[in-house]
Structure 1
Amino acid sequence: MEVNEYLEVFIEESKEHIQSLNDHLLILENDPANMETVSEIFRSAHTLKGMAATMGYRDIADLTHKMENVFDAVRNNQISIHSEIMDVLFQAVDQLEGMVLDIVDGGEGAADVQQLVTQLQAIENKEEIPKASAGFASADIVDSKPEAADTIFSPFANLDEFEQTVLRQSKENDCNNLEINVRLAENCLLKAARVYMVFEVLEQVGEVIKSDPTVQELEEENFESSFHVLLITKETADQVKNKILKVSEVEEVVIQEYELAEPSESAQQEETKLDESKEEQKTAAPKQQETTTKTKKAQNVVSKTIRVNIDRLDALMNLFEELVIDKGRLEQISTNLRHSELQDTVEHMSRISNDLQNIILNMRMVPVEQVFNRFPRMVRQLSKDLGKKIDLQIVGAETELDRTVIDEIGDPLVHLIRNSLDHGIETPDKRIQAGKNETGKLLLKAYHSGNHVFIEISDDGAGINKEKVLHKAIENQVVTPEVAEQLSEKEIYQLILSSGFSTADHISDVSGRGVGLDVVKNTIESLGGMLTIESEEGSGSLFSIQLPLTLSIISALLVEVADEKYAIPLSSIIETAIIHKEDILNAHNKQVIDFRGKVVPLLDLKDVFEVPVEKEESDLYPVVIIRKGDKMAGLIVDTFIGQQEIVLKSLGEFLGDVFAISGATILGDGQVALIIDTNTIIT
């Protein structure tokens, strides 16, 4: 077997199962008697064990095998869950995640899991759990005891009347009703495929009436190593058995004759009707066919979802962008030629391309749940480390964002949450002294608003001390005392986003309010987003992140400077205006204007981009008012062209550091317009 062929699938599915383990362990910790959750954890551990063993990752298989044994004992009421057991289980999941990440990085997924295996073994045996620092004796890793299959416990005791009637008729026609138990090898690769092959054999020799587990469960590999089938056939049990055993990775087949119970009165009536009326046989036939079809070609049922590498979606988007450029050119040609049929065709093509654009963009959209999923576990661990009680609430996890944004937003959110837990929410004793509930609340919320997604992290902690922030800002020479006196409340809070700024009295391993927040701010702004802060001392803080829905296609205002065209993202624009020459003032050797009571610096894009053209004196200047947080600036341009949806193209590695340019777009006439990075212009 070529393992590399399945490596990507293994990694993705392993991540899903590990996330499922984390989620359900958190549920189980709050509700130890929830057997449904225990079963979910058992299934995830069992599936992960089989996948890892198949791929040759022995340490992952060993660890999940012991976890599986623990939860098997729990669901059989042999042991009860308590906090010490939960700690070991969470450590085991952490170890599994680390090994999978090692595989992602090209490693072998190996680790020293012996002490965790021994701890899990002790839990299973109801012994005292050894401490992590203690020595560990070797433990048996793999339980090779085969599943008993000498006799069959029949799962087909309660067949419906129609199924019983079909079986009775088969006996009258000298057919055999066989109950078959098939056991696959413990480390079977792709169990669903083996089941399909078995069903193929059975359909060649007869008709499958029923299976246990159900066909859907077999398709989803929601079974351990064995399954039962009820078959009608002309062949003998030995003939059927020999054919099934030819399927690879089938370890054992046990067949016995299925014995029907005495027919009920209604079943006898049904049988009589089937014998007496051919028409009713025709009516009943589809029902029989439906029962058989559910099992026949079981694996031919096409899944409604498939895994697609993000690189393929990027390639698809790039090809579509080229199509948009050609479409724009065709629109110009059809307008110039004024050919009615060509114009109709181009209009139809435009409608189709718009639909295609929406489909491609939606394909790239993923729920922020993918990022949010990691936080319940993280908050649990941090609350224990800090000795705090935290109630984490997540709202709007289904909100969708572009995959590129999702990949980048995780680390900033982690840092903001760690700050809220460490320096926002107080310890239980301090909260009680302040008249609060000893359990602090942390709210993680996502929602759509216009063409943006907002992610908010709020807590009901101590809030931000404004006086302390100002004192530190002056001490670190971030602002002068004179400037500090004129700052608004929001501007004071924004100071903690300055590089290296911190109000923490002591450095902690978790975080310090403000340390690294400049990196968070820069990351968010690089995504075209914005970070704002609100706080009330003693009541809590709110960090709000505004992000664009997608980075691929944005709404922009096209402007002209000399003979060059530029695009300014609409998300950064407050409004456009025409100002008179006499309205331009000078302050500190810089041009400014009075915009709605605020002094706004004025920048001429000819100077910013050093456009080689002589400036012409004019009495009127077109100006675009842009913003970055609470800061604003006015950009002088020559002409407003209009609003347009544009495709964002990277300038490539050789032009990646061009000042105040974030990319380029190709217009319908083939011209290139540079996209202005307004966050760089406003300092």
Structure 2
Amino acid sequence: MEMNQYLSMFIDESKEHLQALNDNMLKLEASPEDIGIVQSIFRSAHTLKGMSATMGFEDLASLTHEMENVLDLVRNHKLAMNPFIFDAIFKSLDSLEAMVEDIINGGTGKADVREIIAILKSIVSGDYEKGTPDASKPAAAAVSSEAELDEFQYSVLMQSLEAGLGVYCLQVSVQDTCVLKAARAYMVFNYLEQNGEVVKSNPSVEDIEKEKFDKTFTVYFVSETGKEELEKQVGNISEIESVGVEKLDADGLKRKMQKTQAATASSEAGAAQQEAAPAAASKAEAASPKAPAGGGTAVASRTIRVDIERLDVLMNLFSELLIDRVRLEQLASEVRRNDLTETVEHMARVSSDLQNIVLKLRMVPIDNVFNRFPRMVRDLAKNLEKKVDLVIAGADTELDRTVIDEIGDPLVHLLRNSVDHGVETLPERTAAGKPETGNVYLRAFHSGNHVFIEIEDDGKGINRDKVLATALKRGVVTPEQAKTLTDEEVYLLLFAAGFSTAEKISDVSGRGVGLDVVKTKIESLGGHVQVTSKLGAGTKFSVQLPLTLSIISAMLVRLGSEKYAIPLSSIVETSVIRKEHIRRVHGNKMMDFRNSIIPLLSLSSLFEVPDFSEENESETEVVIVRKGDKLVGLMVDEFIGQQEIVLKTLGKYLTNLFAVSGATILGDGQVALIIDTNALIK
């Protein structure tokens, strides 16, 4: 069966299940008694195991199987969650994520999961509570000693006994320090096959050749050689730690067979119970409209996955359609036929609805990025021995898919920075009279044509003098420049390449990489980052990102013979002002606006429009635009009107243009530049 066609589906669904597992584990950590959450976790693990086994990713399947065993005991009230079990399952999730990531990068998804599987087995057997470092090994040995015999193998061994041959069960353990376990096992099998016949081995010979065993394996063996000789010869093979040889008679062999049958029956009953439990749970969910406290009920899939390139093509086609619609509206107004006008108006309404749908297809809730942070902050706080609460707001804020894909890593750096450098240690917070648990706030919200993401902590704040001293020491600024810098400018020095104020290098910070990468990435997306801080009270990083929508509402204005577009989201209002009401303050033009004075800019002068003369008119049209709490009046020649325009980038040849964010093609085929009002105000 060709599996490659299903690989992308497997990857997408695996990522969703792993995210659900992480989220539900964090919820369970907050309320360990909630069995509803455990049921949700179990179902996700069960589905992931089935998918992995079907696709042939055995390591993924075996690890999720051991996780299932632990979760099964918890949901059946045979085991209570504790910090050790939480850490073990979180480690398992990390291993699963690493394997899925390997598959995404073209790997085989294989990993050495023996250690974590041994820990999970020790939890199931209860040996972990004894505190022995190798708690899992006795359990593994116990399982190994009962190599399963089928009817055929049992009859072969019985016939060998009747023929007067010796039937042995050998349990062989290799040393922990052994590097080539498979080679040592081969030497054991080589000796046995020269002196008799191997009927059964556990694990199988194939698994032993691939080193898929812990350190012990069991062999059923028929030979004329004596028990003592077998022990001596196998024990003499180098790096073999111990050999246990049990000589079996007919009764002993029967007992082994009976144990095998009992183990098989119990495992089948357990499997039936596992299958029945989700079915019973789903019946209970169907009967009760209320979802369990921790996990939501399963909902039938109502989504399909679409390649992002197809959406780009759809967006471009719709952009062309929009240009034709504007042209048709213009022609209809010239022809003035009622039936044509009505048809064009209907087409305009339908295309407006279509436009909203097309735009929404590309928009993704920022929740897709935010949902991986609670787990990261939990692990980081534990590592740093701090108590930190991550408070998320505005996770439903939508952002263009292309920005979503790129923004994750910068936010990771900023959050790690807040937890590591911002939030104080427990003694420091107590001494400062603060609660032991620090807060890190992650917020997202729309403002105009931009999305703002804020990361704020209630930690110790930024020490301005320390940052400046480090910057001077590293040559980031000169002593002359340092004297003129404002607080905000000093804080922005944190984003200089190689800059770090950490006292010592750790695996969290101190290597001088991180914040410079953040600034570079955010600026490459057309955004920027600001820092505000108050010593002793906390720090706030504010990231501004463009929505990067391909279609925006804009006000078209005329400057001389040229047309320009101003995004509607930036406009406060439009006005007309007489020339004599324009004030001059220190040579700059100003105007009265709602009991305040705001600056005036002549766009024609700024863009050096060739056929423009402002001397002829007694009054001028003004567009008042806003950025934050700052207002500016833009003087234009004429208002053309509001219009939906298609945002086109200017390509790689026209770079570093001041106050122009792109261009659009109008209905009459003319090109109008789109004005970046944020740059004008800045």
Shared topology, TM-score over 0.5? yes
Structure 1's 632 and 522: CA in aligned 2 closer, same or farther, altered over 3 A?
A: farther
Distance in 2 separating the partners of 1:423 and 1:628: 31
Distance in 2 separating the partners of 1:512 and 1:628: 36
Structure 1's 82 and 356: CA in aligned 2 closer, same or farther, altered over 3 A?
A: same
Match of 2:550 in 1: 552
Is residue 455–residue 546 contact of structure 1 (8 Å, CA) maintained in 2?
yes
Is residue 592–residue 600 contact of structure 1 (8 Å, CA) maintained in 2?
yes
Match of 2:290 in 1: none
Match of 2:366 in 1: 368
Deviation, structure 1 residue 536? 2.1
Is residue 326–residue 668 contact of structure 1 (8 Å, CA) maintained in 2?
yes
Q: What percent of counterpart residues are identical?
A: 54
Aligned with residue 380 of structure 2, among 379, 382, 386: 382
Deviation, structure 1 residue 351? 1.0
Deviation, structure 1 residue 383? 0.8
Deviation, structure 1 residue 460? 0.9
1:53-64 pair list within 5 angstroms? 53-64=53-64
Match of 2:204 in 1: none
Structure 1's 213 and 614: CA in aligned 2 closer, same or farther, altered over 3 A?
A: closer
Question: Structure 2: which amino acid aligns with 1:338?
Answer: R
Match of 1:234 in 2: none
Distance in 2 separating the partners of 1:499 and 1:679: 26
Match of 2:83 in 1: 83
Aligned with residue 318 of structure 2, among 308, 317, 320: 320
Deviation, structure 1 residue 345? 0.8
1:287-298 pair list within 5 angstroms? none
Secondary structure in 2 aligned to 1:99? helix
Q: Deviations over 1:228-281 (max 9, x none)?
A: xxxxxxxxxxxxxxxxxxxxxxxxxxxxxxxxxxxxxxxxxxxxxxxxxxxxxx
Match of 1:671 in 2: 670
Is residue 534–residue 541 contact of structure 1 (8 Å, CA) maintained in 2?
yes
Deviation, structure 1 residue 316? 2.0
In the superposition, the TM-score normalised over structure 2's length comes to: 0.66
Aligned with residue 346 of structure 2, among 345, 348, 351: 348
Distance in 1 separating the partners of 2:93 and 2:665: 48
Aligned with residue 304 of structure 2, among 280, 303, 306: 306
Structure 1's 302 and 58: CA in aligned 2 closer, same or farther, altered over 3 A?
A: closer
Q: Are 1:410 and 2:437 an aligned pair? A: no
Match of 2:115 in 1: 115
Secondary structure in 2 aligned to 1:664? strand
Question: Structure 1: which amino acid aligns with 2:663?
Answer: A
Structure 1's 33 and 410: CA in aligned 2 closer, same or farther, altered over 3 A?
A: same
Is residue 503–residue 513 contact of structure 1 (8 Å, CA) maintained in 2?
no
Question: Structure 2: which amino acid aligns with 1:330?
Answer: L
Secondary structure in 2 aligned to 1:440? strand
Q: Are 1:423 and 2:421 an aligned pair? A: yes
Structure 1's 530 and 135: CA in aligned 2 closer, same or farther, altered over 3 A?
A: same
Distance in 2 separating the partners of 1:32 and 1:443: 25
Deviation, structure 1 residue 506? 4.5
Is residue 573–residue 624 contact of structure 1 (8 Å, CA) maintained in 2?
yes
Match of 2:39 in 1: 39
The number of residues matched between the two structures is 539
Match of 1:456 in 2: 454
Deviation, structure 1 residue 324? 0.6
Is residue 583–residue 593 contact of structure 1 (8 Å, CA) maintained in 2?
yes
Deviation, structure 1 residue 402? 2.7
Q: Are 1:124 and 2:109 an aligned pair? A: no
Q: Deviations over 1:34-66 (max 9, x none)?
A: 322222221111111111111122221122122
Distance in 1 separating the partners of 2:22 and 2:57: 21
Q: Which has the larger radius of gyration?
A: 2
Structure 1's 362 and 604: CA in aligned 2 closer, same or farther, altered over 3 A?
A: closer
Deviation, structure 1 residue 330? 0.4
Secondary structure in 2 aligned to 1:650? coil
Structure 1's 640 and 470: CA in aligned 2 closer, same or farther, altered over 3 A?
A: farther
Deviation, structure 1 residue 97? 1.2
Match of 1:19 in 2: 19
Question: Structure 1: which amino acid aligns with 2:76?
Answer: N
Is residue 566–residue 676 contact of structure 1 (8 Å, CA) maintained in 2?
yes
1:153-168 pair list within 5 angstroms? none
Deviation, structure 1 residue 592? 6.5
Q: Deviations over 1:545-584 (max 9, x none)?
A: 3444552223445455665544454566788898989988
Alignment RMSD: 4.7
Is residue 448–residue 569 contact of structure 2 (8 Å, CA) maintained in 1?
no
Structure 1's 431 and 513: CA in aligned 2 closer, same or farther, altered over 3 A?
A: farther
Question: Structure 1: which amino acid aligns with 2:126?
Answer: K
Question: Structure 2: which amino acid aligns with 1:385?
Answer: N
Structure 1's 634 and 491: CA in aligned 2 closer, same or farther, altered over 3 A?
A: farther
Q: Deviations over 1:492-515 (max 9, x none)?
A: 545545565555455554246996
Match of 1:255 in 2: none
Structure 1's 29 and 215: CA in aligned 2 closer, same or farther, altered over 3 A?
A: closer
Distance in 1 separating the partners of 2:553 and 2:470: 40
Q: Deviations over 1:335-380 (max 9, x none)?
A: 1111221111111111111111112222333222111111011101
Structure 1's 659 and 541: CA in aligned 2 closer, same or farther, altered over 3 A?
A: same
Structure 1's 592 and 61: CA in aligned 2 closer, same or farther, altered over 3 A?
A: farther
Question: Structure 1: which amino acid aligns with 2:306?
Answer: V
1:96-107 pair list within 5 angstroms? 96-107=96-107
Deviation, structure 1 residue 659? 3.8
Distance in 2 separating the partners of 1:514 and 1:607: 41
Distance in 2 separating the partners of 1:512 and 1:573: 44
Match of 1:92 in 2: 92
Distance in 1 separating the partners of 2:415 and 2:120: 32
Q: Are 1:50 and 2:62 an aligned pair? A: no
Match of 1:394 in 2: 392
1:615-630 pair list within 5 angstroms? none
Distance in 2 separating the partners of 1:515 and 1:603: 43
Q: Are 1:333 and 2:361 an aligned pair? A: no
Structure 1's 645 and 501: CA in aligned 2 closer, same or farther, altered over 3 A?
A: farther
Q: Gaps (5+ residues) in structure 1?
A: 156-181, 184-190, 192-209, 218-300
Is residue 531–residue 629 contact of structure 1 (8 Å, CA) maintained in 2?
no
Structure 1's 302 and 384: CA in aligned 2 closer, same or farther, altered over 3 A?
A: closer
Deviation, structure 1 residue 414? 1.3
Match of 2:647 in 1: 648
Distance in 1 separating the partners of 2:266 and 2:104: 37
Question: Structure 1: which amino acid aligns with 2:340?
Answer: L
Deviation, structure 1 residue 124? 2.2
Structure 1's 25 and 641: CA in aligned 2 closer, same or farther, altered over 3 A?
A: same
Secondary structure in 1 aligned to 2:127? coil
Structure 1's 641 and 335: CA in aligned 2 closer, same or farther, altered over 3 A?
A: closer
Q: Deviations over 1:44-93 (max 9, x none)?
A: 11111111111122221122122112212322344333222322221221
Question: Structure 2: which amino acid aligns with 1:370?
Answer: N
Question: Structure 2: which amino acid aligns with 1:436?
Answer: K
Is residue 525–residue 679 contact of structure 1 (8 Å, CA) maintained in 2?
no
Deviation, structure 1 residue 457? 1.6
Q: Are 1:444 and 2:448 an aligned pair? A: no
Is residue 117–residue 139 contact of structure 1 (8 Å, CA) maintained in 2?
no
Distance in 2 separating the partners of 1:149 and 1:537: 62
Structure 1's 114 and 483: CA in aligned 2 closer, same or farther, altered over 3 A?
A: closer
Match of 2:193 in 1: none
Question: Structure 1: which amino acid aligns with 2:59?
Answer: D
Structure 1's 427 and 679: CA in aligned 2 closer, same or farther, altered over 3 A?
A: same
Q: Gaps (5+ residues) in structure 2?
A: 137-175, 182-210, 215-259, 287-298
Match of 2:160 in 1: none
Distance in 2 separating the partners of 1:154 and 1:482: 75
Secondary structure in 2 aligned to 1:49? helix
Distance in 1 separating the partners of 2:536 and 2:267: 66
Match of 1:29 in 2: 29
Structure 1's 371 and 531: CA in aligned 2 closer, same or farther, altered over 3 A?
A: same
